Amino acid sequence: MQLRRIGDSQVSSIGLGGMPMSIEGRPDEARSVATIHAALDAGVTLIDTADAYHLYADEVGHNESLIAKALATYGGDTSEVLVATKGGHLRPGDGSWTQDGSPAYLKSACEASLKRLGAEAIGLYQFHRPDPKVPYADSVGAIRDLLDEGKIRMAGISNANPDQIREANDILGGRLVSVQNQFSPAFRSSEPELQVCDQLGIAFLPWSPLGGISNAGDLGSRHAAFATVAQAHGVSPQRVCLAWMLAKSPVVIPIPGASRPESIRDSAAATELVLSAEEIASLDATS
Ligand SMILES: NC(=O)c1ccc[n+]([C@@H]2O[C@H](COP(=O)([O-])OP(=O)(O)OC[C@H]3O[C@@H](n4cnc5c(N)ncnc54)[C@H](OP(=O)(O)O)[C@@H]3O)[C@@H](O)[C@H]2O)c1
């Protein structure tokens, strides 16, 4: 598995997104644990989660607890695994997603995540989404405090624009290590954020890289150019999509979600797929 850098950590160039294992349509726990173990077997050492990846109001942190359990029951070495969680989003249990970016909330959410993950410090803590009710500097200031207090080892942000990336990095005193934004064949408007990350040497984690849970299976029929390149290599269009992202910049680390071992095994193999300049140009040009 090719490695890439997040702050002072070397992680697999393909991460595992935990969301499909905890929200609507999720599998039973045994299949989720098998999926996480399959990712670890394939050399994946970055797992993305959030306290808000749960279904019902009374099970905040469902996905964090699942990941903690899967890591604890894995037979191999997990010392190099970086668990990246987030705070600032909430799910009241009616299917909606709400926000709270207040410093007091973020600090209490981080404490709760820390307990669920059973770690001394959270490896990477990401501010999930700017809250329009709270000045961005206040929310990021809380993340800086958590970093200074040693509750979190590294700090990231998500759903940020280029100005917010620069502002967050300034507030954190140059210690911003990652930006997680939506990026996929159908959603390319995060190119400017990717470029800022590339310039600053900050990891860029595309979320819903395959188009999201309900669209990922149809990637090849939605985007014919990906199916064409996939056919030429005898691999899946999803694998081509991830290899295309990896080729964009050394700071890119996609985090495809999975709820089945086969999905993450196939995605992890994207790290070995080399596309030609012509193929990359054809995928860049397609919509
Ligand atoms: N920061 C944010 O605001 C934010 C928002 C959304 C998501 N995220 C993060 O980003 C991660 C990824 O996004 P996502 O899960 O929404 O969407 P996604 O990665 O675009 O799609 C996930 C779906 O892709 C399928 N899949 C994965 N690899 C495949 C392969 N090689 N071939 C065929 N199908 C494959 C999986 O199917 P199976 O379920 O059948 O395995 C899974 O349900 C999330 O899990 C979460 O960690 C962050």
CATH of the domain at 257: 3.20.20.100
Token pair in block for residue 63: 């996905």
Q: What is the mean pLDDT of residues 222-243?
A: 98
Is position 271 within any domain? no
Beta bridge partners of 155: 125, 176
Is position 160 within any domain? yes
* pLDDT class of 286 with cuts at 50, 70, 90: confident
* CB-ligand 1 contact for 67 (6 Å cutoff): no
3-state secondary structure (DSSP) of residue 203:
strand
Backbone φ and ψ for 227, nearest 5 degrees, come out as: -70, -40
* CB-ligand 1 contact for 64 (6 Å cutoff): no
Is position 171 within any domain? yes
Which atom of ligand 1 has the smallest separation from the CA of 35?
Answer: 41
Q: In a mutational test of the pocket of ligand 1, which residue from 218, 263, 265, 271 has the highest number of ligand atoms less than 8 Å from its CB?
A: 263
Is position 244 within any domain? no
Is position 284 within any domain? no
pLDDT of residue 227: 97
Backbone φ and ψ for 5, nearest 5 degrees, come out as: -110, 135
**Percent of the chain at pLDDT exceeding 90:** 98
User: In this structure, which residue's CA is closest to atom 28 in ligand 1?
Assistant: 263
**Percent of the chain at pLDDT exceeding 70:** 100
Q: Is 74 a catalytic residue?
A: no
pLDDT of residue 195: 98
Is position 277 within any domain? no
Count of domains observed in the chain:
1
* CB-ligand 1 contact for 208 (6 Å cutoff): yes
- Quote the ligand 1 centre to 148 CA distance (angstroms): 32
Q: In a mutational test of the pocket of ligand 1, which residue from 86, 210, 218 has the highest number of ligand atoms less than 8 Å from its CB?
A: 210
Domain that holds residue 14: 3-218+251-261
Backbone φ and ψ for 181, nearest 5 degrees, come out as: -130, 160
Q: What is the mean pLDDT of residues 24-44?
A: 98
Is position 276 within any domain? no
Backbone φ and ψ for 134, nearest 5 degrees, come out as: -130, 130
The pLDDT of residue 287 is above 80: no
Pairwise CA distance, residues 27 & 176, whole Å: 34
pLDDT, one tens digit per residue, over 151-163 is: 999 999 999 999 9
Is position 269 within any domain? no
DSSP 157-201: EES--HHHHHHHHHHTTS-EEEEEEE-BTTB-TTHHHHHHHHHHT
| Single pTM value for the model | 0.98
Token pair in block for residue 34: 């098998």
